[in-house]
Amino acid sequence: MKYFLPLFALVASLSASVHAADGISGTWMTTSGSSPQTFIFKVTQDSVIGLVCGPCDTPATVFRIDAGRVLDANRVSFSIRYDRGGPAFDKVGPYSDRVTATLSGASLALHAQREGTNDRPVTTVLRRVVENGVSMVKKTWRLTPSNPSTPRSSSSRLDGHWVAAGRPDGRQQNFILKVEDGNQVWGLVCGPCDPDGVALIDDGQIDGDRITFYINHFGVDAVAPPGDTPSPRPWVRRNIMRGTFHDGNVMRFTWVREGAEDQPGGEMVLIGPVSW
């Protein structure tokens, strides 16, 4: 005799697993080591994307996280794709690490093994950057400045480090943009470029002189029924950036909050690339 799980129970089971895995979404940072890194994860239904950077204003140390999937309520797997700035690039060229991540409270344990090898897995423990609305970043955190002499890795005129012009507060805002498959854009924006100042760029495209991408702003709220211990509930809001190339090294953008396209947005000018 065959037994079938009722449809409502199946949906509830799947929803609970994915919802719990959503707790991995957001920004994380390494807890030890001489070279601090920032990780951003975005869990959508059963898929996982993101990036890892450190320093985050240098294109050569920004790597893509993709091919991710939800394994269960507290575990996901994904690949980190290392190009010319990867730790082993000089020896093996471009490569990927396959990673399993396990969530435990405010900690995320990564177990990484280089794909196609029998190397011993390496474990890294991450801590959430914002816990219950409070930043966990030490204000002594410092990142190495970008190196303009780094050789360019792509013929795309978009690839590299761009800087927002004329910010009212006088602080530099950096955009690291990367192009794959001819017209697909991803990257990050930071300023300051310590872990609580980094945002993921995804779903970008180039069409001639026009470029569109989305900036993801993550947050975590403490949510709990009365009398229970609060647990993190991540959220993400996106800004839509639409721009055009001008004069070779200038891009002019308008932006608006996704889902609020009928409300006022803003304008921004990017200059670059200043390094690759």
Straight-line distance from the first to the last Cα atom of the chain, in angstroms, rounded to the nearest whole number? 63
Q: Is residue 149 part of a domain?
A: yes
Residue 56, exposed/middle/buried by CB under 10 A (0-12, 13-18, 19+)? buried
Q: What pLDDT does residue 35 have? A: 83
Q: What pLDDT does residue 134 have? A: 64
Residue 66, exposed/middle/buried by CB under 10 A (0-12, 13-18, 19+)? middle
pLDDT in tens, 6-17: 433 333 333 444
Question: Range with the lowest mean pLDDT among 77-81, 146-150, 248-252?
Answer: 146-150
- Mean residue pLDDT across the chain: 83
Neighbours of 101 (CB within 10 A): 25
More confident residue, 192 or 28: 28
Q: Please answer whether residues 153 and 259 qualify as being in contact, where contact means their C-beta atoms are separated by less than 8 angstroms.
A: no
270 HSE (CA, 13 A, CB side)? 26
pLDDT in tens, 15-39: 444 455 778 999 999 988 778 999 9
State which residues form the domain around 121: 10-16+24-132+142-275
User: Residue 3 pLDDT > 60, yes or no?
Assistant: no
Q: Is residue 240 part of a domain?
A: yes
Question: Range with the lowest mean pLDDT among 90-104, 140-154, 236-250?
Answer: 140-154
Q: What pLDDT does residue 275 have? A: 74
Q: What pLDDT does residue 266 have? A: 94
The dihedral region occupied by 116, where left means phi > 0, alpha psi between -120 and 50, and beta the remainder, is left
User: Residue 170 pLDDT > 80, yes or no?
Assistant: no
Q: Is residue 1 part of a domain?
A: no
Please tell me the pTM assigned to this model.
0.83
Q: Is residue 87 part of a domain?
A: yes
Question: Range with the lowest mean pLDDT among 9-18, 60-69, 118-127, 190-199?
Answer: 9-18
Which letter does DSSP use for residue 129 in this model? S
- The model's confidence at residue 133, banded by pLDDT at 50, 70 and 90, is low
Q: Is residue 94 part of a domain?
A: yes
Q: Is residue 85 part of a domain?
A: yes
**Domain count along the chain:** 1
Q: What pLDDT does residue 23 have? A: 84
Q: Please answer whether residues 250 and 271 qualify as being in contact, where contact means their C-beta atoms are separated by less than 8 angstroms.
A: yes
In angstroms, the CA 18 to CA 264 distance is 34
Q: What is the DSSP string of 140-161?
A: T---PPP-TTSPP--S-SS-EE
Q: What pLDDT does residue 17 have? A: 44
Q: Please answer whether residues 254 and 263 qualify as being in contact, where contact means their C-beta atoms are separated by less than 8 angstroms.
A: no
Q: Is residue 93 part of a domain?
A: yes
Q: Is residue 200 part of a domain?
A: yes
